[in-house]
Amino acid sequence: MREACDVKADDFDGVSIYINVKPEQKDMMYVSIHAPCFAEVKDAVGDRYFEDLYAPHGVVDQPAQPGYSLTILFDLNNLPDAAEAKDQLVDKISTIKRDVVGAALWVCFKALLTGSKPPRPYYVIPFRPKECIYVVPQDDLVVVVYAICFENHVEQAIAKVFLQEICISRKQSRDLMTAPSVTYTSEPPHELKTINPPIRPNVDPKFCGYVSLAISKRIVESGRLEKVVTLTEGYRSFLMYHVQATKSQLHTRIRRRANSWLQVVHRAMPEKLNVEKKTIKGRTFNRS
């Protein structure tokens, strides 16, 4: 028996997802998403993108629920009977953030796969405060550039070392020769200097640099399109995970080393003088 329910999830990108079934409409499930960059995404890909994406599964509700950017209605009485179709519906709901924030990636990668030309020469998605994703399609590849910024100076240092290590590993490892080309620079890459208007160097002290991924047609072929979009859209989250994990490991090692030093200091403390001692036969004496 269906009951009214409310489930809300937030992530560090400022994206919120809200799933609810209203008491007066227990046959309809509302799935809403709030993305700070939704206006820019909608302007870049148009309303038709969301209608084509969710029309086979639900109905795009206009206007969206208060406080959210997009709401999709699912009729619980008309769910597919096949187990495979139900799994596809669940997958579509679970990847709503990827499909909304990464809409420009879908458009450009599909155009790269089919050999067509995307509607725009480039896309700018401000997915986080002070951070953007630049998607620049070219004839034989799509260049995705991330502008990375961290508030904490420790996280900035860790992120710079991590990104430099990724570039070095990509060049030196034979196992990664088929992976997308990765470059890390503090200045805007060539692709951002050629767009109109060109991107100026970022002088913010909290800015870490630009990370560029070159996605060729070979990478998105053979049914790998969805996986490539998922990994590319989640690259910033991947970086955040490793920065926080490294930071946690450093703190753990510092605490362990501090405890080790305290034990050494305690063992090095001299014994107190003029303390009454006892011999093995029970006699007492003062040690001076």
How do the domains of the chain map onto residue ranges?
1-101, 118-248
Range name among 18-32, 231-245, 246-260 with the lowest pLDDT average: 18-32
In the predicted structure, residue 213 carries a pLDDT above the cut 60: yes
Tally of CA atoms within 13 A in the half-sphere of 215 that contains its CB: 27
Rounded to the nearest integer, the mean pLDDT of the chain is 84
Amino acid at position 83, single letter? A
Give mean pLDDT, residues 183-190.
89
Choose between 176 and 43: higher pLDDT: 43
CB neighbours of residue 87 within 10 Å: 11
- 225-233 vs 235-268: helix crossing angle, rounded to 10: 50
pLDDT band at 272 (very low <50, low <70, confident <90, very high): low
Nearest by Cα to 10 from 71, 91, 68, 87: 68
**What's the pLDDT band for 105 if we cut at 50, 70, 90?**
very high
What is the CATH class of 1-101? alpha beta
Token couple for 149: 């910024």
Q: What is the CATH number of domain 118-248?
A: 3.30.1460.20
In this prediction the pTM is: 0.81
> pLDDT band for position 106 (50/70/90)?
very high
For position 134, what pLDDT does the model report? 92
* Residue 144 pLDDT > 90: yes
- Please choose, from the candidates 225, 216, 232, 221, the residue with its C-alpha nearest in 3D space to the C-alpha of residue 141: 216
Q: Do domains 1-101 and 118-248 have the same CATH topology?
A: yes
pLDDT for residue 146? 93
